[in-house]
């Protein structure tokens, strides 16, 4: 994970939206990727908070 970059986040969201437009996704896949799309960080504060939490959990061995 690098520093927050709005263009990178927009590209990630666009890629997920393209995936969601496919007709061959299972209901599980559509729900999963829909959640991913909804939770992509759209500002630096949210992004940094998620990075911090991810690495904190990685150090303690917790599973999200």
Task: Output the tens digit of pLDDT for each of the chain's 64 residues.
Answer: 788 999 999 999 999 999 999 999 999 999 999 999 999 999 999 999 988 888 887 776 666 5
Residue for token digits 């990178």?
8
pLDDT for the residue numbered 64: 57
Concatenating the DSSP letter of every residue in 47-61 gives HHHHHHHHHHHHHHT
Would you state the structure tokens that stand for residue 41, as one six-digit string? 């960080």
pLDDT for the residue numbered 57: 78
Q: What end-to-end distance do the CA atoms of the chain give, in Å?
A: 17
Q: For residues 64 and 39, is the Cβ–Cβ distance under 8 A?
A: no
């Amino acid at each position: 994970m690098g520093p927050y970059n709005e263009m990178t986040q927009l590209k990630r969201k666009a890629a997920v939206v393209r995936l969601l437009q496919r007709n061959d996704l299972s209901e599980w896949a559509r729900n999963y990727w829909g959640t991913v799309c909804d939770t992509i960080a759209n500002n630096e504060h949210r992004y940094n908070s998620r990075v911090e939490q991810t690495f904190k959990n990685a150090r303690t061995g917790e599973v999200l």
